Amino acid sequence: MVEWNNETTCNLPPATPVFLLTTNERALMSTDSHIFHLDSGAMSHCSPERSDFVELDTIPTRQVGGINGTSIAAVGQGKIIATCRKGRKLTLKDILYIPQATLGLISVRRLADEGILSTFDPNDCTLCCGSKVMANGKHIGKGLYLIRAQSLRTEHANIACATPNLKTWHK
Q: How far apart are CA 28 and CA 57, in angstroms?
A: 18
Residue 70 has what pLDDT? Answer: 86
Residue ranges of domains in the chain: 27-155
What is the value of pTM for the model shown?
Answer: 0.69
Q: How far apart are CA 31 and CA 83, in angstroms?
A: 9
Model confidence band, residue 119 (pLDDT cutoffs 50, 70, 90): very high
pLDDT tens digits, one per residue of 58-113: 999 999 988 788 889 999 999 998 888 778 888 999 999 999 988 899 999 999 99
Topology of 27-155 in CATH? Answer: Cathepsin D, subunit A; domain 1 (2.40.70)
Please check whether residue 45 is in contact with residue 90, taking contact to mean a CB–CB distance below 8 angstroms.
no
- Pick 143 or 1 by higher pLDDT: 143
Q: Is the dihedral of CA 97, 100, 103, 105 positive or negative?
A: negative
Please check whether residue 92 is in contact with residue 106, taking contact to mean a CB–CB distance below 8 angstroms.
yes
Residue 114 has what pLDDT? Answer: 92
User: Which of 17-21, 22-26, 119-123 is most confident?
Assistant: 119-123
To the nearest whole number, what is the mean pLDDT of the chain? Answer: 77
